[in-house]
Amino acid sequence: MSHGNITVSSYLMGDFDGDGKRDIGAFSADRNSLYITRNASTPGNPQTGAGGLHSSGWSTVDKTMTLDWDGDGKDDILGRNGDHLFLWRSTSTGAAFSFAGYQVLSAGNATVSSYLMGDFDGNGKPDVGAFSWDRDSFYITRNTSTPGNPSLGAGGLHSSGWASRDHVMTTDWDGDGKDDILCRSGDLFYVFRSTSTGATFSFANPVPPNSGNATVTSYLLIAASR
């Protein structure tokens, strides 16, 4: 597919140009430079197109993620810098990759251990889930964006008691249009089904679909895209 990947520190995949195909973002060994390569595949014919250095200055940004934050059909880049959660909104086209200057979505992120993004209320926009430094407390903040106008609404502490759970993921497990939370605790694999609305975030009591998970090193969820 491509050469020159031995010095890549991490990848950042996203459909940056909105053509329905995920492009390849890659950070240099020192995480300072971001390279992007276009996905030039056709059905049954995987291939990469042109690519190169997009930007530098990323070494102070961690917990980078891609998702369509404002619902315009293009994946944006989110990342933390110090206490702030930043957003780089994609303005890419089929001819060139580009992003608007960073926007501060929120402060108070210095003690976040990890993020858990998901459309918990089923409005088509991913909300921000965040775990505290000890991973025991879980906070959720609502995405209030409109296309071209990224924003973040009200949020706060949702629940505690997460420290004993690992491999936490989000997906619409039951196909009701709302992202649920999946995780492991000891030998059991749990599903917290979202019962959230536009007014409040909520989840049903956890359902353990199966046991025998104690020796699992990682999960790989496979589903049809929405």
For 24-42, what is each residue's pLDDT tens digit? 999 999 999 999 999 999 9
CA distances from 210 to 178, 186, 207 (A): 22, 12, 9
Q: Could you tell me the maximum CA-CA distance found in the chain, to the nearest angstrom? A: 49
* pLDDT at position 104 over 50: yes
CB of 92 within 8 A of CB of 16? yes
List beta partners, residue 33.
56
User: Under DSSP, is residue 59 helix (H, G, I), strand (E, B) or coil?
Assistant: coil
Q: How confident is the model at residue 226 (pLDDT cuts 50, 70, 90)?
A: very low
- Measured CA to CA, the distance from residue 151 to residue 103 in angstroms comes to 9
Q: What is the pTM of this model?
A: 0.92
Which residue, chain included where needed, has tokens 């609404």?
Answer: 153
Ranges 1-15, 103-117, 169-183, 194-208: which has the least confidence: 1-15
Q: How confident is the model at residue 225 (pLDDT cuts 50, 70, 90)?
A: very low
The tokens describing 111, both together, are 């003690």
Q: What pLDDT score does 46 carry?
A: 96
Q: How confident is the model at residue 183 (pLDDT cuts 50, 70, 90)?
A: very high
The tokens describing 50, both together, are 């042109």
CA distances from 191 to 110, 138, 165, 181, 226 (A): 28, 16, 12, 6, 20
Q: How confident is the model at residue 96 (pLDDT cuts 50, 70, 90)?
A: very high
Q: How confident is the model at residue 196 (pLDDT cuts 50, 70, 90)?
A: very high
Q: Give the residue, 39 or 3, on which the prediction is more confident.
A: 39
Average of per-residue pLDDT values in the chain: 94
CB atoms within 10 A of CB 136: 15
Question: Which of 51, 113, 53, 55 lies closest to 80, judged by CA?
Answer: 113
